[in-house]
Amino acid sequence: MEKSVLKLDKGTTCTAWNYCGQRLAAGSVDGTLSVFDSPDPASSSFSRSSSVKVREVGISKVVWVPPEYGDAVACIFEDGNFSIWEEVAEDSLSVQWKLCEFFKSSSSKVLDIQFGVSPTSLKMVAGYSDGSLKVFELTNPLELKNWQLQAEFQNVIDSVSTFGKASCLSASISWNPVRGEGQESSFVMGFNSDTPQLNSSKVWEFDEAHQRWLPVAELALTEDRGDRVYSVAWAPNIGRPWELIAVATEKGITIWHLNLSPDADGRLPVERVALHSGQEGEVWQMEWDMSGMTLATTGSDGAVKLWQSNLNGVWQGQATFLPTC
Amino acid sequence: MPEPDGGELGPLSSSPTPPPSYPLRHSLRSPLSPRVSLCWCRGNSLRVSLFSQPASEVEFGGEVVELKLNDGGDGEISNAQWRRIAYGSVSPFAMLQSRRNSFSSLSKINSSPYHLEWWEYVMEYSKDINSLLGNPKSSKNSLIEDPKTFVQKSEEPTCLKAAWELMEMFYADKLSQPWLPERLVDWLADYDSLFARAYGTVYSKLLNFQNELINLQVIEDDPRYWEVIASALAVGWLEIVVKLLRLHGSYQLDQLSNREAWEKWRGQINKLDCSAFWIQCHHVQTREGLRNLLQIMLGNMSSLSAATSHWLELYISHFLYVRPFTAGLESMYSLAQRCIQLKPMSNSHKLMGVMIGILGENTEVVLAESSKEFGPWMAAHAIELLTAGSDEAEALLREERYSLGEISLEELHRLVYAQVLSSHALSWQIAPVYLSSCLKQGMGLLEILLYRQPVPHKELLLKNLEICRLYELDDISSNIMKMAGVHHWKHGRKGSGVYWLQQAQDEFRLNKIAQLLFGSVGKSISDESFKQWEGLIELLHSESKAAGGLEFLLKYRDFKRLLQQIGDGKNDVAAQQAVESLMLLMKNPSTPQRFWLPLLNDSLKLLNWQDRPLLNVSQTNLLLNKLQELSIARLRPHFVKPDFPMEALNSVRLSLATNLGRAILEE
């Protein structure tokens, strides 16, 4: 059932596959970015095509930029800064990985970055350790330098209340994977912090008229609003009447239905359709398959779990995979 | 009636108990970090990244392992065979869908004599698919008959084929409906061997006995001889019975030579039972054996039970001898239940669930079992047979369910199968056929499938665009072309990049490229780069709507070409042409002001022409005025300093002044 695809170099800390699964970017503890390629799509053998020392600081996460903007990755470093590197061929020189932009964050550390494609531009959302998030926009679609800070705000519904300096361990962002020609994309974000108001997962939508981001839904029951959120994942919608979003909190894995038509007060109705508690430890990563029918999760117990809904709409664990020699 | 397990059926069924655990095998020898990373690639393939503990002394820091889910199967059908079946099923499926679409419109209009019933189309579909499922049962008759071979060991049939034929028989083949029990008898004759491992079978008993024949001197002395005849008789394999009887020591050549004689004998059974023959027959085994055969034919339950190995064989024997061929479906089911009670199944078997579901007329169970035992291919294709079975079945399978996201079971199984097809590089292209028949979520999944195909690979890109064209997915097509354009542009293939961006009609990026080209204005560029720059302008101009700016670029390009032709300052004609070109450019109101200085700087060669002044007085004055305008503009508050060294201003002014002097002298 399983087969080895490639071996990673010593010190590798994180990996990410590109949109078609043909290239793997791997970041290591010594700040090296390695890229593995496969000669053709039908082959399943991969070999390292480049290895670049991007910085003297370890890389903690790698995220691919959407392919409409080139072959590029964002590297988040251990020290909380991040940079964007791109594979380009300049003039008659051969193809190589080059630095596009380095984003220095002085006061707080970047915890997560995700890219969202809208009809007009590329947006990047970054979540910081002080509980804030920044939305950057790319000005020139052909160059991955020159990002403009479009908005900066906190992950709270009620923007009026203030609280002291927040300290966040992790943040998780997931864009709506839709590629529509028309609407702007929205994203969902949750935090794992000591400030309850920041934690719960909120769905953010851009309001064109007022040129600002608004929280249109909160994916938490009233009594769970302060729960720490470990991971969020927005499923691809192939034609369902609702959006499907998975949220992993300290209480367990929850599955939500988000309705696309707003109710009277402009909010989008949400419904929690599943809760699976009893997870041992934290959930680290959640990924939906291409149809949004299966959710794969990993966690601190080191296992890979698969979740599916049965014919009656009840979500349950289908299988657990434990790494074994 | 077997009940579905709390509504949890089909490919997405689960048990209330904790989910099964499987090993994820890897080859790393060091202890692993619990931090595991994953990514879905291509359909149902899950790639899992495992990392070694940071401190450990290792050769490798980790490994990426690919899990192909939904790909297991019990190995009855090899991967290569599955691919053949998958590829071969596409045409029949597509044909049936298009027939369904035209059928519904036609049937409303008229019923022509050439018009087939719907079920006949389904039968054609079924036969086409059936021909893919393993080799046809080879004929039992060979030219030269070996009397000691009463059972042919032909190629092992597959459960898949057996299940398909069962469903065809019960649901699609309307002509079969009155003959179901007979059809079942024939079906068991073809497929009894499949049950050999789970239960004993008549087939395996026959085969074993056949192998033993060489060791036997007097066949009719061996009790097994009579057992196998009884068993073969019980399930109605009369040809084999005849062959076996011919092996009896007392057989004369002209006895039992044809089926008619056999039928006659059968007709006189009762008479035989009371006849004097029994007293005359001295051979015990023959006497007992033959009596048992008679009991079988009389429908004696204990004889039948002794002669058969599993409930299906007993079931068949019922149709032959107890209640010959007169059973409706409801009574068929209760009879089956009784046979199961008499011969309970010690092990499970792939076919049993499907069989019981069919006999019990439980469409959901049939679908669930087919899916569980035979996989997504079966579920997606057998639904066509099931919907042809009855109106109720059709309604059940086509009902849109909210819990599934408002799609029907029919659509769900097609989507699941399409995702399986998407998991392989060699079969993703046939997924669109199935997705296009899914009215609600098919196109959504197709879109995602297309976006995940790699763009740099030319054949795949073209294939991808072909599919977009076929299904009229212009937006997706344009986005994919955009991706291709950006990829080529960034990897040094600028011409290809522009080509694809033009195909995508991505004005935004094309304008940016045009702006980049402007950046070359006034700068000295190598011949190589100039060629490329020229080519790009040509390409851009051919389709771009940004006419104004490109007009300038075109003229500038022509101007640059002329400058090149001048070479080392001797070509008078070219020089004069260049001057004309320069003047046109400078006079043209659409030439942006920021290019004046670069243009003049480019033209220094012309302005400092050795032989004679190339520009006349009025021309020189015009240029000086332009230069003056430029100097004043610099003083204005909103002046944006152009990306050009302003010392050039002085050298240009100097050259123009000199030129003016010389021009005045000329005139």
Which chain A residues contact residue B18 at CB under 8 A?
Answer: 317
Establish if A78 touches chain B: CB-CB under 8 angstroms. no
Of residues A237, A284, A305, nearest to B35 (C-beta): A284
Domain ranges of chain B: 21-68, 79-103+118-134+152-197+347-452, 199-254+261-328, 551-666
Does A8 contact B64 at a Cβ distance shorter than 8 Å?
yes
Among the partner residues A90, A300, A304, nearest to B48 by beta-carbon distance: A304
Which residues of chain B does A140 touch, with a Cβ-Cβ cutoff of 8 Å?
A: 512
The pLDDT > 90 percentage for chain A reads 70
A287 contacts in chain B (CB < 8 Å) = 38-40
pLDDT of residue B48: 95
Collect all residues with Cβ–Cβ distance below 8 Å to B620 and sequence separation of at least 6.
B613, B656, B659, B660, B663
Confidence at residue B6, expressed as pLDDT on a 0 to 100 scale: 35
- Residues 178-237 of chain A with CB under 8 A from chain B are 179, 181, 236-237
Give the model's pLDDT for residue B8: 34
CA distance B102 to chain A (A): 26
Q: How far apart are CA A84 and CA B519, in angstroms?
A: 25
Q: With an 8 Å Cβ cutoff, are A302 and B34 in contact?
A: yes
Query: Does B376 touch chain A if contact means CB atoms closer than 8 Å?
Result: no
- Say which CATH topology domain A107-324 has: Methylamine Dehydrogenase; Chain H (2.130.10)
pLDDT score of A213: 93
Closest A-chain CA to B424: A42
Chain B residues with CB-CB distance to A246 below 8 A? none
For B:612-651, CB contacts with A below 8 A are: none
Q: How many angstroms separate the CA of residue B440 from the nearest CA in chain A?
A: 6
pTM of the model: 0.86
A30 lies within 8 A of chain B by CB: no
Q: How is residue A164 written in tokens?
A: 């002291």
| Contact check, Cβ <8 Å, B25/A289 | no
Strand order in the sheet with A32-37: A12-17, A23-28, A32-37, A47-53
> Is B1 near chain A, with CB under 8 Å?
no
Interface of B with A in 535-564 (CB under 8 A): none
Between chains, do A239 and B440 touch, taking CB under 8 Å as contact? yes
**Which residues in chain A have their CB less than 8 angstroms from residue B455's CB?**
20, 67
The answer to whether residue A260 neighbours chain B at the CB level (below 8 Å) is: no
Residues of A in contact with B40 (CB under 8 A): 287-290, 296
Residue A164 to residues A152, A167, A196, B92: CA-CA distances in angstroms? Answer: 17, 9, 12, 67
Measured distance CA(B172)–CA(B175) in Å, rounded: 9
* Closest CB to B32 among A28, A302, A321: A302
For an interface test with B, which of A142, A179, A300, A305 has the most B Cβ atoms less than 10 Å from its Cβ?
A142
Of the candidates A5, A14, A302, the beta carbon closest to that of B47 is on A5
Q: Do A304 and B516 touch (CB under 8 A)?
A: no
Task: State which residues of chain B have pLDDT below 70.
Answer: 1-16, 56, 71-74, 106-115, 135-145, 147, 154, 249-282, 324-329, 522, 524-525, 543-549, 568-569, 638-644, 646
Within the 426-465 window of chain B, which residues sit less than 8 Å (CB to CB) from chain A?
426, 440-445, 447-449, 451-455, 457, 460
CA neighbor of A189 nearest in space, from A157, A222, A161:
A157
Tokens found for residue B546: 């940004």
CB contact under 8 A, A317 and B14: yes
CA distance B309 to chain A (A): 36
Residue A84: exposed, middle, or buried by beta-carbon count in 10 A (0-12, 13-18, 19+)? buried
Spell out which residues of chain A touch residue B39, defining contact as CB-CB under 8 Å: 15-17, 21, 287
Enumerate residues 133 to 172 of chain A having a beta carbon within 8 A of any beta carbon in chain B. 140-142
How many of the other CB atoms lie within 10 Å of CB of B314? Answer: 24
Residue B415's closest chain A neighbor by CA? A291
CA distance A164 to chain B (A): 32
Sign of the alpha-carbon dihedral angle for B193, B199, B201, B207: positive
As a whole number of angstroms, the distance between CA B485 and CA A6 comes to 30
Cβ–Cβ gap A5/B528 under 8 Å: no
Going A288 to A291 to A292 to A294, the CA torsion angle's sign is negative
- Asked if the C-beta of B325 comes within 8 angstroms of chain A's C-beta atoms, the answer is no
Instruction: Please report residues of A whose CB lies closer than 8 A to that of B71.
Output: 1
Residue B275: per-residue pLDDT: 58
Closest to B50 measured CA to CA, from A296, A302, A287, A231? A302
Q: How many Å apart are CA B194 and CA B204, to the nearest integer? A: 10
Low-confidence ranges of chain A (pLDDT < 70): 91-92, 161-162, 181-182, 279
How many residues appear in chain A? 325
- Quick one: pLDDT at residue B12? 42
Q: What is the C-alpha end-to-end distance of chain B, expressed in Å?
A: 115
Q: Is B444 within 8 Å of A293 when comparing Cβ atoms?
A: no
